[in-house]
Every structure is written in C-alpha cells, then in structure tokens.
Amino acid sequence: MERNLILAFESSCDETSVSVVENGSKILSNIVATQIKSHQRFGGVVPEVASRHHIEQITDCIDLAMSKAGVGYSDLNAVAVTYGPGLVGALLIGVTAAKTVAYAHHLPLIPVNHMAGHIYAARYVKPIEFPSLALLVSGGHTELVYLAAPGKFEIIGETRDDAAGEAYDKIGRVLGINYPAGKEVDRLAHLGKDTFNFPRAMDDSESFDFSFSGLKSAFINTVHHADQIGETLNREDLAASFQAAVVDVLADKTVRALDAYPQVKQLILAGGVAANQGLRERLTAELQAFDSVEFVKAPLKLCGDNAAMIGAEAYVEYQQQHFGKLDLNADPSLEFDFMA
Ligand code: KG4
Ligand code: ZN
C-alpha cells in the first residue's frame, strides 16, 4: 500500500494538538498541549484565553509533531484540520495554521468535523465496519450517530439540553472538584453507592434523545438543601448516584438503538466521557446480549481532544477527495448534515 501521510490539526476547545498520521491508522506523532490549568480557576474554558494559548502553542506543536514523526513537509500528502464545531476563536487558529502549511507546501487541505474525528479515534483499535453505531459523549455533545458508510454520519438521537460531560463538570463544581470534573467524579462513584435515586430523564421515551439538565438540577438542589439544614452528604454516594443515572440513560438508549438498527456491526464509544469506567463496564455487560455487535472503545488516551483522531477521519475524506479551499472558515456550529 502506498504510504499516505497527513498532518492534522485540532484546536476546537482547550487543547492545541498537531499529529502526523500514516494511512489513517498509525500515529507517528500526536502532540497535545493542554490549557486546562489556565481555565481551572474560572471553572470552565474561557474562549478568549483559549485562543491566545493556541496562538502561543501552535508553531511549537507543528515542529514537535513533524520532528517526532521523523518526516519532512515533502513527505506529506495532505493537511487536515478541525473546522467545527467548537469555539470560533479557537478553531480559527488551527484553520489558519493548516491553511498556511497547505498553501506553503502545495498540499491539499481536508476540513474535518470534530465529532467525526472523535468517532474515528476508534480506528486506532480496529477498522470501522459499516453500518455501525457510535455513542458520542463529550463536554459539548451527547449523540447517537448511525454510520451507514465511510464518511456518512446521521444523528439518530442527541441531548436536548446539557451534554453528559457538561453535567459532570457542573455537578463536580458543587462537590468542589476542579474543571474538568468527569474523571474525579468517576473515581468517587466507584467508592460509593446509588442511594439518592436521581431522575433518569426520558428513559422510557421511544426517542433516542437525551436530557441531563433535570438530573443536574436535582443533584444541585439536593446538595444545597443539605447545606441549608447543616447536613453533610456522602460525596462518594452522591457521585455514584449521579453516575448511575447518567450511565442508565446512556446505556438504555444505546441498547434501544441497537435493537432498532439490527444490521449494525459495531458499537463505537467515543468522546471525552467515553473514558468513564462506569460507562465502559455497563456497555460491555449490555453488549453480551448482542452476539453480532462488536464493542469498539476509543483508546483511553484518545478519548479527549487530539489531532490523531482528526488525521484518522481525514484519511477517509482524502480517499473520497473531499478537499477544502483556502477560503475555508471556522464553523462553530457545524453539523453532520453538511458532510452527507
Ligand atoms: O471530548 P472532550 O475532551 O471535549 C469536548 O469535545 O467536549 O470531553 C471533555 C469532557 C469533560 O466534560 C470531562 O469532564 C469529561 O469529558 N470526562 C469524563 C471523564 N473523563 C473526561 N466524564 C466522565 N468520566 C470520565 N472518566
Ligand atoms: Zn471533543
């Protein structure tokens, strides 16, 4: 097979990342400069601060990615970049850097949807088989996506309010946990028991949509009420109860979608919240009932934002000759339909 090398960029939120990917399936380098510490004191990502950090980091990230991969610009076949969804100012840094490299080295430019990239992180485990279903759970999105063929993404269910990761971060704040709180809430959850019986919104509805804002409010109200009457609640049990409610709804909807789409060959779990141990364990157990469905979990270190996942998806677009022009702009609310 001819060697295809893609230089990929990701800067949609608070990670500046540049990667060199071979044939969409092998990571030669994946540099991730995280800004988490700068945002922690604000309890979330401050868009303007994020853009400034991206500008400071991006050139070093390119140099490091190229040198670590041991390749030169003349070895590259294309440049890929996340152009949405995400924070507009943050996206623009990656888009501008990618366009500059593409222009300077006469390389095709491949625009990539960030969410499609998250799904393709699973490509580093094994080739994606079609049709497949992806449960995509991140800080900004919670979606069930049907993949009929390479490069085709159809959302069959999504959150009507908060994303799962966003709910983790908000309740984590109430527990005094630094942003992003998901990993620590997950750890606490494993030490506690589901004693609070928080609501499982839309769990009995036929739709594949989700809702997490009611759960978040129930959690916050419970903690505030206890504070007012001077009662201290068990943090581990609070975390376990919250996580049980999130995992129940995510797992039940996913199982229902697998029942509704019996032709599906793989279930792909991707996005930052895909690192959640409770969710991984629960879906592994549920999948026992589906002999013909293979469970493909994005590797833990590729669940969060990174450019290697963008390079994997870009390879599919490269094969389909989906190239962008040098007037490519960031699209903060990019949707999948655009790519269909
Ligand atoms: O995909 P991602 O890195 O960024 C977005 O595109 O949003 O996801 C970040 C989200 C954060 O909300 C973070 O709290 C959550 O993923 N997260 C987790 C875990 N690790 C990260 N949520 C639950 N359990 C985890 N282990
Ligand atoms: Zn993301």
The ranges assigned to domains in the chain are 5-120+303-338, 127-297
CB 331 within 8 A of CB 84: yes
pLDDT-based confidence at residue 204 (cuts at 50, 70, 90)? confident
In this prediction, residue 337 has a pLDDT band, given cuts at 50, 70 and 90, of: low
Distances (CA, A) of 62 to 16, 59, 66, 83, 324: 10, 5, 6, 17, 20
Residue 234 is assigned to a ligand binding site = no
**DSSP bridge pairs for 19:** 8, 30
CA triplet 338, 114, 326: central angle to 5 degrees? Answer: 65
Residue 138 Cβ contacting ligand 1 at under 6 Å: yes
Neighbours of 289 (CB within 10 A): 10
Intrachain domains 5-120+303-338 and 127-297 with the same fold: yes
What the block records as the tokens of 239 is: 């975390």
pLDDT score at 338: 43
CATH of range 127-297; options 3.40.50.720, 3.30.420.40, 1.20.1560.10, 3.10.20.30: 3.30.420.40
Strand 15-22 vs strand 5-10: parallel, antiparallel, or unpaired? Answer: antiparallel
Q: For the segment 247-276, what is each residue's pLDDT rounded down to a tens digit?
A: 999 999 999 999 999 999 999 999 999 999
Q: Closest by alpha carbon to 73, among 42, 99, 100, 107?
A: 107
Mutate which of 82, 112, 168 for ligand 1 pocket (most atoms within 8 A of beta carbon): 168
Rounded to an integer, the average pLDDT of 166-192 is 96
Distance from residue 72's CA to the centre of ligand 1 (Å): 34
Distance CA 146, CA 197 (A): 31
Task: State whether the beta carbon of 17 lies less than 6 angstroms from ligand 1.
Answer: no
What atom in ligand 1 is closest to the CA of residue 15?
3
Please say whether the structural domain 5-120+303-338 has been given the CATH code 1.10.8.350. no
pLDDT digits 0-9 by tens, 10-33 = 999 988 999 999 999 999 999 998
Regarding the beta carbon of 275 and ligand 1, being less than 6 Å apart is answered yes
Whether residue 115 has its Cβ less than 6 Å from ligand 1: no
- The token duo for 281 is 């364990």
Rounded to the nearest integer, the mean pLDDT of the chain is: 95
Q: How many Å lie between the centroid of ligand 2 and the Cα of residue 316?
A: 19
* Ligand 1 centroid – CA 325 distance (Å): 32
Overall residue count recorded for the chain in this entry: 340
Supply the pTM of this predicted model: 0.94
The response to whether residue 209 sits with its C-beta less than 6 Å from ligand 1 reads no
